[in-house]
Amino acid sequence: MPSLASRRLYLCVGLRDDLTDFVRIVVEGGVDVVQLREKTAPVSVQRGPAGELARLCRDLGVPFVVNDSPELAAEVAADGVHVGQDDVSVARCRALLGDGAIVGLSTHAEAELEVALTTSATYLSAGPIVPTPTKVGRPGTGVGYALAAQRRSDRPVFVTGGVSPSTVGALVGEGLRHFVVVRALTEAADPGAAARALRRALDEALSAVPVEPAQ
């Protein structure tokens, strides 16, 4: 599977009735990383859908990670796990999943970034750059923090918060390169069309910047 450095559009999605159909449609539209991010249902409820997504994403050739639980990731043969600042450590994830697994780590501030850069995380996330309902009570970090994280990191940094077809071009223009999308797809009346529009806006913006070394 290609390095995450070549992946640009990372979907976070919770449990929903049409989960596998939805993920298939948006991956076909341009999403190239998928995370099952379910903050309320217990692992016992997530297990079946996570297994289905692991198989689907494997068939589609995109990485699949689960949120918070390396144990669930191991059980369903996901490609890895994403953890936050208050979740299990990156070291614990590595112990459970091995060196080849994807382990993502959220950061929201300089002090968190300092620590994150000392871990074996495969990628980092930075943000949310603007306040978002998916991160209740967390203020926006601004673009400057995400750019600083990207400059300092030797691994991909995926930006969270407010990514949509109307914003992604400007974010690329600021210098950002990897993006997490939630509501622009999960709340879309036509997720396939929304994914295609977002991917088109992203690719057009990227085509207008000079070729850069892989991040």
Phi, psi of 101 (to 5 degrees): -75, 155
How far is the C-alpha of 39 from the C-alpha of 43, rounded, in Å? Answer: 10
What pLDDT score was predicted for residue 138?
67
How far is the C-alpha of 60 from the C-alpha of 22, rounded, in Å? Answer: 13
Residue type, position 6, single letter? S
Residue type, position 97, single letter? L
What pLDDT score was predicted for residue 5?
94
| Residues with Cβ within 8 Å of residue 8, at least 6 apart in sequence | 32, 177, 178, 179, 202, 206
Alpha helix positions (H), 61-190: 70-75, 90-97, 110-116, 143-152, 168-174, 183-186
Domain boundaries, the chain: 4-207
Per-residue pLDDT of the chain (215 residues; tens, 9 = 90+): 568 999 999 999 999 999 999 999 999 999 999 999 999 999 999 999 999 999 999 999 999 999 999 999 999 999 999 999 999 999 999 999 999 999 999 999 999 999 999 999 999 999 999 876 666 666 778 999 999 999 999 999 999 999 999 999 999 999 999 999 999 999 999 999 999 999 999 999 999 987 755 55
DSSP 8-state assignment for residue 34:
E
How far is the C-alpha of 111 from the C-alpha of 199, rounded, in Å? Answer: 32
How far is the C-alpha of 142 from the C-alpha of 92, rounded, in Å? Answer: 30
DSSP 8-state assignment for residue 98:
-
User: Residue 56 CA to chain centroid, in angstroms?
Assistant: 17
How far is the C-alpha of 29 from the C-alpha of 59, rounded, in Å? Answer: 15
Cα angle: 97, vertex 98, 100; to 5 degrees = 110
**Token reading at 30:** 């341009």
What pLDDT score was predicted for residue 134?
62
**Token reading at 58:** 């494997």
CATH architecture of 4-207: Alpha-Beta Barrel (3.20)
DSSP 8-state assignment for residue 99:
T
Residue type, position 127, single letter? G
What pLDDT score was predicted for residue 131?
77
How far is the C-alpha of 100 from the C-alpha of 83, rounded, in Å? Answer: 16
What pLDDT score was predicted for residue 139?
73
